[in-house]
């Protein structure tokens, strides 16, 4: 008999691949053989962005790929096309991969670990009679929302055929969870009805597929979202999976990290820098981009700003005239930062964030207060946790034209940093979550339980 062999399949998006890779490093260190299967498109990007320092990782985790059914130049943000192709092509390709590994490897696949969004993979795993674990990388409250679709239909909040909203309102899944605006449900966020319906259908199908999994593990801590874990007690918290908690390196990036900004941070005084980052998807309207730049300039503080090469349509013209010269060395712009290390750096005073779940738990785990700038789906729910439940950040108000103005940015930075309670509360929350992934902490005990069962 060989050693237990985990085959892991992340959902093909940045915020899904990074935490899955983090989890896989933990499994590899526990003596599992680990194979990670990305789509060919993502595999290429991850391998290209790997740094020399990540050599150990490639030894620890076997990285492989299967096609996603799309051509090289197809738009992978076209959800209708991408999801259709995935469902048509990937299940068969995954099955062939497992057959090939089982024929050629002394260590046959014993467990399939799939992103919850790839629930169809559990159907494939059933054929092979192997263990099945679903991994949920976002907030547990968000998964609770997907699992509540039947109740939303029963309560006549949404239509059963396509998920469209019957009446705009805010809904609460439980008394102790923040209210969600029906316009910010994952599927209702998309502007066109066809995409809304496609995403809704996938959620409904996935809710059924995931019932096949033996366990559903979540990249969250009970201490962060007790009400969501109470609502669905079958969900196990195992997070936050943060590389710095393990003194390791975060891997799985789609862009190469610009580590020179760490040296720049070394030169800044303690708690003096605003870190600004909007994750892997956000695209800015050019006017809003300029307001943000001018707002940062107005704060008179130093700032480290992640400006991805694809962040606005007109990158060359993006900055306001004279901005780069005026801010000089107090403003540092990079294409992609080693975010976890940045957030751990003592020079960082606050995190201006789009509130993606990974960014949220990374900020909390490093005790950094937030300025919240959500723009899509669950980011609004995460903002509610940050501002209203944990009270470790503030949001921005838009003006009548829907823009966040430079003066608003300056005022909120001053408000956040002028009130020491934000920092005190985030440090307190940091202690709670860091303890959860250690020793007798809840997340650590759950992860140990899963590891023992998988062995
Ligand atoms: N990230 C990074 N460097 C950057 C910006 C983001 O390493 O310059 C990482 C960040 O640490 C997080 C992930 O990319 O782990 C983004 O995930 P999140 O859920 O915050 O946002 P999404 O990209 O899914 O909207």
Locate tokens 């996938």: which residue? 202
Strands 5-9 and 273-277 turn out to be unpaired
> How many Å from the N-terminal Cα to the C-terminal Cα in the chain?
12
Mean pLDDT of 296-304: 97
Numbered ranges of CATH 3.40.50.2000 in the chain: 5-239+437-454, 260-433
Task: Please report which confidence band the pLDDT of residue 231 belongs to, taking 50, 70 and 90 as the band edges.
Answer: very high
Q: Which atom of ligand 1 is nearest to the CA of 355?
A: 20
Contact 231, 176 (CB under 8 A): no
Indicate if ligand 1 lies below 6 Å from the C-beta of 15: yes
- Residue 50: predicted pLDDT: 83
Per the CB < 8 A criterion, the answer to whether 62 and 93 are in contact is no
The answer to whether 36 and 20 are in contact (CB under 8 A) is: yes
H or E segment to which residue 233 belongs: none
Task: State if residue 339 touches ligand 1 by the CB under 6 angstroms criterion.
Answer: yes
Residues 6+ apart with CB under 8 A from 228: 139, 140, 141, 143, 144, 173, 174, 177, 220, 235
Split at pLDDT 50, 70, 90, the class of 315 is low
pLDDT of residue 244: 61
Which residue has the CA at smallest separation from atom 17 of ligand 1?
15
**Cross-strand pairs, 322:** none
Instruction: Decide if pLDDT at 58 tops 80.
Output: no
Answer yes or no: is pLDDT of 247 > 60.
no
DSSP per position, 330-380: GEEEESS--HHHHHHSTTEEEEEE---HHHHHHHHHTT--EEE---STHHH
Answer with the residue of higher pLDDT: 259 or 317.
259
Domain 5-239+437-454 top-level CATH class: alpha beta
Instruction: Report the candidate in 212, 10, 266, 235 with the shortest Cα–Cα distance to residue 117.
Output: 10
Determine what percent of the chain is predicted with pLDDT higher than 90: 85
Q: What is the CATH number of domain 260-433?
A: 3.40.50.2000
Smallest CA separation from ligand 1 atom 7, residue = 339
Q: Is the pLDDT of residue 53 over 70?
A: no
pLDDT band at 316 (very low <50, low <70, confident <90, very high): low
Q: Tell me, in angstroms, the distance from the centre of ligand 1 to residue 98's CA.
A: 30
Which residue's CA is the closest to the ligand 1 atom numbered 11?
A: 339
Q: Looking at residues 139-157, what average pLDDT do you find?
A: 96
pLDDT class of 2 with cuts at 50, 70, 90: confident
Predicted structure pTM score: 0.96
Region 326-351 average pLDDT: 96
pLDDT grade for 248, boundaries at 50, 70 and 90: low
Q: Name the pLDDT band for 52 (thresholds 50, 70, 90).
A: low
Distance (Å, rounded) from C-alpha 251 to C-alpha 249?
A: 6
**Segment 122-136, tens digit of pLDDT:** 999 999 999 999 999
Contact 20, 115 (CB under 8 A): yes
d(CA 202, CA 275) in angstroms, rounded, equals 35
pLDDT per residue over 11-43, tens digit each? Answer: 999 999 999 999 999 999 999 999 999 999 999
Ligand 1 site, residue 359, Cβ cutoff 6 A: yes
Handedness of CA 50, 53, 57, 58 (dihedral sign): positive
Confidence bin at 79 (pLDDT 50/70/90): confident
**DSSP 8-state code for residue 386:** I
């Amino acid at each position: 008999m060989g050693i237990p062999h985990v085959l892991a399949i992340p959902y093909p998006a940045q915020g899904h691949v990074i935490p899955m890779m983090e989890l896989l490093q933990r499994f590899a260190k526990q003596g599992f053989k680990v194979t990670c299967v990305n789509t060919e498109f993502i595999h290429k990007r991850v391998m290209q962005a790997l740094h020399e320092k990540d050599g150990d990782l490639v030894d620890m985790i076997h990285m492989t790929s299967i096609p996603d059914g799309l051509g090289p130049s197809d738009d992978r943000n076209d959800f209708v096309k991408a999801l259709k192709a995935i469902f048509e092509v990937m299940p068969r390709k995954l099955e062939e991969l497992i057959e090939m590994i089982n024929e050629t490897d002394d260590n046959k696949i014993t467990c399939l670990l799939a992103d919850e969004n790839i629930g169809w993979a559990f159907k494939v795993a059933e054929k092979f009679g192997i263990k099945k674990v679903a991994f949920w990388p976002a907030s547990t409250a968000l998964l609770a929302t997907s699992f509540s679709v039947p109740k939303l239909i029963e309560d006549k909040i949404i239509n059963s055929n396509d998920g469209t909203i019957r009446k705009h309102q805010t809904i609460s899944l439980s008394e102790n969870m923040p209210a969600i605006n029906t316009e910010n449900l994952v599927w209702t966020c998309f502007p066109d009805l066809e995409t809304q319906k496609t995403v809704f259908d996938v959620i409904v199908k996935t809710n059924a597929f995931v019932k096949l999994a033996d366990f559903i593990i979540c990249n969250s801590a009970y201490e962060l979202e007790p009400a969501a874990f109470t609502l669905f007690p079958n969900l196990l918290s195992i997070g936050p999976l943060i590389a710095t908690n393990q003194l390791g390196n975060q891997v799985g990036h789609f862009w190469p990290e610009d580590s020179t900004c760490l040296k720049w941070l070394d030169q800044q005084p303690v708690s003096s820098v605003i870190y600004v980052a909007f994750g892997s998807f956000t695209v800015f309207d050019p006017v809003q981009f300029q307001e943000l730049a001018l707002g940062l300039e107005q704060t008179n503080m130093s700032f480290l700003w992640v400006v991805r090469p694809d962040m606005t349509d007109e990158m060359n013209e993006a900055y306001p005239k004279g901005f780069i010269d005026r801010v000089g060395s107090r403003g540092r712009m990079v294409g992609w930062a080693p975010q976890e290390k940045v957030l751990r750096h003592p020079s960082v005073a606050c995190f201006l964030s789009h509130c993606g779940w990974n960014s949220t738990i990374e900020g909390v785990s490093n005790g950094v207060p937030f300025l919240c700038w959500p723009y899509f789906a669950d980011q609004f729910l995460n903002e509610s946790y940050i501002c209203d439940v944990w009270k470790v950040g503030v949001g921005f108000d838009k003006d009548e034209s829907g823009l966040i103005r430079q003066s608003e940015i300056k005022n909120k930075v001053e408000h956040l940093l002028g009130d020491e309670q934000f920092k005190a509360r985030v440090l307190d929350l940091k202690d709670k979550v860091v303890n959860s992934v250690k020793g007798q902490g809840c997340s650590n005990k759950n992860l140990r339980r899963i590891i023992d069962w998988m062995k």
